[in-house]
Amino acid sequence: MDSRSSDRRARRVKSKSACITCKIRKVKCDEGRPACHRCKSTGRVCDGYGIWGGGESFYHHRQFVAGLKDSRVVPRPPASVSVLTSGTEEKEYFEWFKCRTAIKLPGSFISRFWDTLLLQASLDEPAVLHAVLALSSVHKRGASNANGQPKTDRGPNEQDQFTLKHYVKAISHLQPHFSIKDRASFRVALITCVTFVCLEFLRGHFKTAQVHLQNGLKILGEMQMLSNGKDGILCSKPCLESTDDWIVEAFSRLHLQVELFKHAYQHPCIVLQATGPETPALVFHSINEAWQQMGRLLNKVVHLTHQGRQQAVCECESLRNPLLLLEHQRRIRTELARWLEIYEAFKKALQGHRSAQEEKVYQLLYTYHTMASIMADTCLRPSDESAFDFHTHQFVLLIRQLANLWTMASTTSLVQALPGDMSRSVVDMGWIPPLYYAAVKCRVHRIRLQAIRLLESTSHREGIWDAKTAACVARKVMEMEERDFHKDTDIADDFSLPSSPRPQDLSLPILPDSYRIREVEVVLSGDPMDRILLFCKQKQEGMDCRVLISEYNVHLQCWIDGRHGGGEDEDTHTDKRWRVDSSDSHKPVLATSNFDE
């Protein structure tokens, strides 16, 4: 009898979608939503369905909110991973995702979205699984191209077809979720949306990635997971389940890097913050806690900059409140100073217990603190480019920190990457934003040139930030601003990358305000990107006008200067071409996306 019972248990098919309570009891679950009927009928508490939530607490909450509404629950589309058992191709890409993509793409900081949620969801939800396979295909193709030899027998067209097939299937499997519109279906849509954003970043489809990101923010609003916090910043509401926090954190980090990309000019601003303590932390227990707090501070600076721009153009006196903005600025400065104290104590406590890779992560956070400090000090003078001249000592500190990071990473994957190497690309922020900020906002020739050369020393992407694109734009801005200003000055440009600026490098004449480009706006045009449009603000007939000053043609590898206003798709008159020659080691050559050749 014992043998027959054992055989029956061995033959029993386990349900991957059963509630947690039924799984523990090892009984068949009827998978009722939001709490299973089997648990309710026996008086037990249904603990829900893992990452999809549900259960008794969620059930009672929904009953309370719904009142006397129809309590019928429309079932979710059936979970299925049959695609992974139908062919070796899907298995191959899913293994690549587990072993490479999910580990590499998140970057230096731990994210529960990547190391837990996305993998679990891909095993439960067809929409997520197909999105993951499409992402894995794009990531693997980029890594194979960068290494100079394909890792499979499939050509580029076949890989494109594989990516497109699973992209379309992911969208198809999302359709029922948009009809159901329960919390579980919203989660499927949001997880898939984050995956699509990352996929499009890797493909160089930056406009499409931002459309996906905005759609995700709309879904978060429909879920009523966001509320207007202090100072008008959108905050995620406290959630009973950590799944929602992980999703909001993923969106918040992607959204922050896009906002930093747009920071130099006025634009509609939405600031999204993941759930966190209202008061600053007294101690950091992990590097992730330090980064999360830094992200909150950067969000506050971005929002305060937006408020400063609104105040500058506001004609209604009742909306002007400079004292309130100054108080917000003072609080941010205080929080940044306190952050550094806590971070120093945390770093000191772990002295001698860090690997070389961990040391780079710690150094990276210092660069963000320095950049955030400069941003906080200048955020209420958004149209005054001379404001940055008072922060040369901070720019010197920033370039030293970045050069130190380059030295630490000179033997690893951070630098000396091959063009288009997606195996070294991430979807989170790294060192590109601080380097670009120093190159564009600091007018000390030595500092900005060193930042540009550091950007040119690597070739990878960090979400919307592409190293070669950032270097190309920064060098163009420097050349257009400086023009002939230093023609009679002996400038020593043959310095080594890790060296620090000398006193004589910092004593050059200050670039006049009339030479400076105000509110630099970079538009990455085309899917995949084939043009970089460079706008700025100029006075025309006493009014600030958005002017297209230059356009970079990726295929021709040259800048085409223009001096007229216009929209993104307007044709550009050719005044002067700035050739970017690959023979010059200091001038980068941008390549078209290696996924769309």
Joined together, the tokens standing for residue 423 give: 């195996």
- Whether omega for the bond prior to residue 34 falls within 30 degrees of 0, making it cis, is yes
What global pTM score does this model have? 0.80
Q: Are residues 227 and 160 in the same domain?
A: yes
Asked whether residue 87 is assigned to any structural domain, the reply reads yes
CA 279 to chain centre: 25
Asked whether residue 299 is assigned to any structural domain, the reply reads no
Residue 29 has a pLDDT of 84
Hey, is 191 helix, strand or coil? helix
Asked whether residue 209 is assigned to any structural domain, the reply reads yes
Domains: count for the chain? 2
Q: Report the CATH number that the domain containing residue 25 is assigned in CATH.
A: 4.10.240
Asked whether residue 475 is assigned to any structural domain, the reply reads no
Q: Are residues 39 and 141 in the same domain?
A: no
| Strands 576-579 and 558-565, bridge-based pairing | antiparallel
Q: Are residues 109 and 165 in the same domain?
A: yes
Of the candidates 34, 68, 36, the residue with the CA atom closest to the CA atom of residue 240: 34
Residue 32 has a pLDDT of 74
Q: Are residues 92 and 17 in the same domain?
A: no
Q: Are residues 190 and 120 in the same domain?
A: yes
Residue 320 has a pLDDT of 59
Q: Are residues 177 and 37 in the same domain?
A: no
Q: Are residues 34 and 89 in the same domain?
A: no
Residue 124 has a pLDDT of 87
Domain boundary among 183, 199, 231: 231
Residue 302 has a pLDDT of 92
Buried b or exposed e, range 60-86, using 16+ CB within 10 angstroms: eebeeeeeeeeeeeeebbebbbebbee
Residue 279 has a pLDDT of 60
Buried b or exposed e, range 545-564, using 16+ CB within 10 angstroms: ebbbbbbbbbeebebbbbee
Q: For residues 583 and 561, give the distance between their C-alpha atoms in angstroms, rounded to a whole number.
A: 22
Residue 438 has a pLDDT of 97
pLDDT mean by block of 10 residues, the chain; 597 residues: 47 55 76 71 64 45 35 44 70 91 84 89 92 93 58 62 93 89 88 96 92 90 66 59 85 92 86 64 87 92 89 60 89 96 90 78 94 96 92 97 89 43 74 96 96 91 93 96 88 89 91 93 92 92 89 93 52 40 39 34
Which helix (H) or strand (E) segment is 558 a member of?
Answer: strand 558-565
Q: Are residues 59 and 111 in the same domain?
A: no
Asked whether residue 586 is assigned to any structural domain, the reply reads no
Q: For residues 270 and 441, give the distance between their C-alpha atoms in angstroms, rounded to a whole number.
A: 23
Residue 93 has a pLDDT of 92
- The boundaries of the domain holding residue 30 are 2-66
Asked whether residue 30 is assigned to any structural domain, the reply reads yes
Q: Are residues 57 and 95 in the same domain?
A: no
Q: Are residues 221 and 184 in the same domain?
A: yes
Residue 221 has a pLDDT of 79
Q: Are residues 227 and 128 in the same domain?
A: yes
Residue 424 has a pLDDT of 67
Q: Are residues 102 and 156 in the same domain?
A: yes
Domain boundary among 231, 258, 282: 231
Asked whether residue 140 is assigned to any structural domain, the reply reads yes
Domain boundary among 179, 201, 231: 231
Asked whether residue 166 is assigned to any structural domain, the reply reads yes
Q: For residues 564 and 418, give the distance between their C-alpha atoms in angstroms, rounded to a whole number.
A: 37
